[in-house]
């Protein structure tokens, strides 16, 4: 029997991935194509286009194209580009981590933007958009995900509430706020915004895709990665244990605490809030190699505690769940064995995670009811057991670690809602 499929397209920093999910949200196939940097830098939309073509070509060789029912795209959060009257990019995009050179731009934003806005700072998408609007011939500004969807549709496409957040969109009032003009942006250049999961157009037949497939408004790449795990109910949390410790919590109400770097992405009628600690794998790497961590973890009893009260940081300063630029890493006293020292560090990071979810709840979010773990640290089962014990919650399975799978879930949400 032929699978019914939805496609999710994830445009990342180094390549494009496409996921095909069946109606039970099972990943059937994932294809990927690296960006060919011999043809241009990673902020060149032509490089994105070629990687998209390659990834879709590989997908259409692996599946029956007639089984596709909808497509959804996610892109890097805050990446924006200028388009001319012929819908061609004007120069290269400004990427998610590019900061503007002119200090007057973030100063103008700070003078009028409310404190809870995600548009503050020289590296916000709004600041980049203000910089872009001076390019000769510009008639539109698009987010990366919007532009990719436009290539599928062959016509201008609206953006979504997630990608619009750092450009100044107000997800509570659901519109571009009036203060943005005072900040210096020509709001007439900005895209229309629709709710995630809304059909925004249909495929034109490019890239070998069948014509007429619904294109569904998506989210930023970080939100897509969260949804890919299968988290779907308020109280579901996802922790990314990588170089740093990043927490995300699904909520039925928004949480805004810019003093902790916390903003909320709107995903339909739900909200995704999160924060990032400087603690994590980099703090461990100061003392232990990966092989030693793996070997010593096998000998640690996760049901017991060392009693050490560590707060491991790779360098001075913390942003969440404690906002203290002067906070110094606390990794003393040192126990007699390397095993106990490692356990103390793992316990310290787990305690930071616990405090982080408590902070999100204190600020209006729901109590954590389940935890899913992604990133390099997810493979350490001793650490995971230690964390779930401290969090006093259940560990839930991760459906997928691919952001493209999260976008495919959004596409399925549209298809099933239409049925």
List, for residues 14-43, the tens digit of each pLDDT value.
Answer: 999 999 999 999 999 999 999 999 999 999
User: How high is the pLDDT of residue 329?
Assistant: 97
The residue written with tokens 């999100």 in the block is 360
DSSP-derived letter for residue 329 is: P
Residue 278 predicted with pLDDT over 60? yes
> Among residues 281, 408, 289, which one has the least CA distance to residue 345?
281
Class of domain 233-395: alpha beta
Q: What is the DSSP string of 216-270?
A: E---BHHHHHHHHTT--STTEEEEEESSSEEEEEEESS---BGGGTB-EEEETTE
Residue 223 predicted with pLDDT over 90? yes
Question: What's the pLDDT band for 418 if we cut at 50, 70, 90?
Answer: confident
Q: What mean pLDDT do residues 119-128 have?
A: 96
Can you state the percent helix, strand and coil of the chain, rounding each to 5? 35, 20, 45
- Name the E strands within 15-153: 15-22, 27-34, 68-75, 80-83, 140-143
pTM for the structure as a whole = 0.94
Q: What mean pLDDT do residues 305-327 have?
A: 96
> Among residues 314, 284, 306, which one has the least CA distance to residue 376?
284
Cis bond before residue 123 (omega within 30° of 0): no
- The pair phi, psi for residue 216, each rounded to 5°, is -115, 135
Residue 46 predicted with pLDDT over 80? yes
Q: Where in the chain is the domain with CATH 3.30.420.40?
A: 5-222+402-418, 233-395
The residue written with tokens 């630029």 in the block is 325
Provide the 3-class DSSP secondary structure of residue 361.
Answer: helix
Residue 1 predicted with pLDDT over 70? no
CATH topology of domain 5-222+402-418: Nucleotidyltransferase; domain 5 (3.30.420)
Average pLDDT, the chain: 96
Query: In this predicted model, what pLDDT tens digit does every residue of 336-383 receive, in sequence order?
Result: 999 999 999 999 999 999 999 999 999 999 999 999 999 999 999 999
Residue 2 predicted with pLDDT over 70? no
Cα 27 → chain centroid:
19
Question: What's the pLDDT band for 279 if we cut at 50, 70, 90?
Answer: very high
Provide the 3-class DSSP secondary structure of residue 30.
Answer: strand
User: How high is the pLDDT of residue 277?
Assistant: 95
Residue 419 predicted with pLDDT over 70? no
Contact 394, 237 (CB under 8 A): no
User: How high is the pLDDT of residue 3?
Assistant: 77
Residues sharing a CB contact under 8 Å with residue 413, sequence separation 6 or more, in sequence order: 197, 216
Q: What mean pLDDT do residues 249-261 have?
A: 94
Question: What's the pLDDT band for 52 if we cut at 50, 70, 90?
Answer: very high
Token pair for 2:
């032929």
**Cα Rg of the chain (Å, integer):** 22
| Residue 161 CB coordination number (10 Å) | 22
pLDDT > 70 fraction of the chain, expressed in percent and rounded: 99
């Amino acid at each position: 029997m032929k699978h019914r499929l939805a496609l999710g397209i994830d445009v990342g920093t180094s390549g494009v991935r496409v996921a095909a999910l069946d109606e039970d949200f099972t990943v059937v196939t994932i294809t990927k194509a690296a960006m060919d940097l011999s043809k241009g830098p990673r902020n060149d939309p032509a490089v994105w286009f070629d990687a998209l073509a390659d990834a879709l070509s590989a997908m259409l060789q692996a599946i029956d194209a007639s089984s596709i029912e909808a497509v959804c795209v996610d892109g890097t959060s805050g990446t924006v580009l200028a388009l001319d009257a012929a819908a061609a990019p004007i120069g290269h995009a400004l990427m998610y981590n590019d900061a503007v050179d002119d200090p007057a731009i973030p100063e103008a934003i700070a003078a009028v933007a409310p404190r809870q806005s995600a548009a503050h700072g020289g590296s916000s998408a709004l600041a980049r958009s203000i910089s872009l609007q001076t390019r000769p011939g510009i008639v539109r500004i698009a987010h990366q995900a919007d532009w990719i969807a436009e290539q599928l549709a062959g016509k201008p496409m609206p953006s979504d509430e997630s990608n619009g957040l750092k450009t100044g969109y107000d997800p509570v009032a659901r519109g571009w706020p009036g203060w943005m003009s005072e900040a210096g942006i020509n709001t007439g250049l900005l895209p229309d915004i629709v709710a995630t999961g809304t059909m925004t157009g249909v495929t034109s037949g490019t890239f070998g895709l069948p014509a007429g497939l619904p294109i569904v408004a998506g989210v930023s790449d970080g939100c897509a990665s969260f949804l890919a795990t299968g988290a779907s109910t308020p109280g579901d949390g996802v922790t990314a244990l990588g170089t740093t410790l990043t927490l995300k919590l699904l909520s039925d109400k928004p949480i805004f605490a810019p003093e902790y770097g916390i903003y909320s992405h709107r995903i339909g009628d739900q909200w995704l809030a999160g924060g990032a600690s400087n603690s994590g794998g980099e703090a461990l790497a100061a003392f232990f190699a990966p092989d030693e961590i793996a070997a010593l973890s096998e000998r640690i009893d996760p049901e017991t505690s060392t009693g050490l009260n560590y707060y491991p940081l790779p360098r001075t300063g913390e942003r969440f769940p404690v906002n203290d630029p002067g906070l110094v890493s606390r990794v003393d006293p040192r126990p007699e064995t390397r095993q106990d020292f490692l356990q103390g560090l793992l316990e310290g990071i787990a305690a930071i995670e616990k405090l982080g979810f408590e902070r999100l709840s204190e600020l209006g979010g729901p109590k954590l009811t389940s935890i899913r773990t992604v990133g390099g640290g997810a493979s350490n089962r001793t650490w995971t057991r230690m964390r779930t014990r401290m969090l006093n919650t259940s560990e839930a399975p991760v459906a997928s670690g691919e952001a493209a799978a999260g976008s495919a879930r959004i596409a399925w949400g549209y298809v099933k809602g239409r049925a």
